[in-house]
Structure 1
Amino acid sequence: MHIVVRRSGGLAGTSRGWRVDTESRDDPDAWYDLVGALPREEPVRRRRAVPDDFTWTVTVARTTVTIPGSQLDGPWAALVRRVRDEGDPD
């Protein structure tokens, strides 16, 4: 399974990205567990915009969600953190 995380916005308005192919990792089952814990409904409801907030775009297989940084929490935050920590720059 391919997972791609992109971060854009912030004060400088720059973009960065990371990617992981879970099948090439030592622990693909742990990745599947992490993805399995993601909520199936829309991850966030729009709230008032936060100036200079990051926007996170997460693609898991063929599903893409976009989450404002101020609302990135729970299983989505755990997935983003792990992809950033262990993934390759994209």
Structure 2
Amino acid sequence: MEIIVQRSGGLAGLRITWRVDVDEQPDADAWVVLVDELPWRDVPPAPPEPDRYVYRIECEPHEALLAEGQVTGPWRELVDRVRETAPPHREPPPAPRTR
């Protein structure tokens, strides 16, 4: 099982992605329990918050989009664990659209 956490937005608009292969972790069972207990179906729409981060959390077949202020409780625990376990992959902000 792979968990992907992607953070985008902020003042610079950078996108950072962390990926963890749970099966390779020494505490894989604890990861599975954490993922299974997340309220995947009860995530309210992320409210627009200029210059704040937005988190996309994916773990097949689940996906959640959370505003920075919504990353609390078990969501915060998962995001923090993924960030502590995996190196970040940075992507430049999207190019401005031209007409």
Runs of 4+ residues deviating >3 angstroms:
none
Identity of aligned residues (%): 38
Change (3 A) 1:23 1:46: closer
Q: TM-score by structure 2 length?
A: 0.80
RMSD between superposed Cα atoms in Å: 1.5
Deviation at 1:43, TM superposition (A): 1.7
How far apart in 2 are the matches of 1:76 and 1:11? Answer: 23
Equivalent pairs counted in the alignment come to: 89
1:14 maps onto 2:17 in alignment? no
Structure 1's unaligned 5+ residue stretches are none
Deviation at 1:50, TM superposition (A): 2.4
How far apart in 1 are the matches of 2:64 and 2:19? Answer: 15
Deviation at 1:46, TM superposition (A): 4.3
Structure 2's unaligned 5+ residue stretches are 90-99
1:66 maps onto 2:62 in alignment? no
Deviation at 1:74, TM superposition (A): 1.2
Deviation at 1:45, TM superposition (A): 4.2
Change (3 A) 1:22 1:52: same
Matched residue SS, 1:50: coil
